[in-house]
């Protein structure tokens, strides 16, 4: 059962890696890419709320895969420069 799922998993990993390489940034889930919270003011109007702390107002965040890649490459670089 585990072996039969391997090709699918490998494909998914490849796809995700390609995605991370193509666009290292994804939209922030907290503010949905706005960079700030959207508040509903009086009369139902949408107003710009607080600055999003998760993405520091950029509306984007580094993907988990890319973050992992960055961490691994940094580790590799630090380990090999000596």
> For residue 67, which of 9, 30, 6, 16 has the smallest C-alpha distance?
16
Among 39, 50, 51, 54, contact with Zn ion (rule: CB under 5 A):
54
Which residues in 55-74 contact Zn ion (CB under 5 A)? Answer: 55
Nearest CB to Zn ion, comparing residues 25 and 69: 25
Which residues in 12-41 contact Zn ion (CB under 5 A)? Answer: 28, 30-31
- Interacting residues with Zn ion (CB under 5 A): 28, 30-31, 52, 54-55
């Amino acid at each position: 059962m585990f072996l039969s799922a391997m090709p699918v998993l490998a494909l998914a990993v490849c796809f995700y890696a390609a995605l991370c390489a193509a666009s290292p940034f994804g939209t922030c889930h907290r503010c949905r890419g706005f960079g700030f919270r959207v508040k509903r003011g009086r009369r139902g109007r949408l107003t710009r709320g607080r600055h999003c702390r998760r993405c520091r107002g950029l509306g984007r965040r580094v993907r988990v895969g890319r973050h992992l890649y960055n961490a691994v490459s940094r580790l590799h670089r630090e380990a090999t420069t000596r």
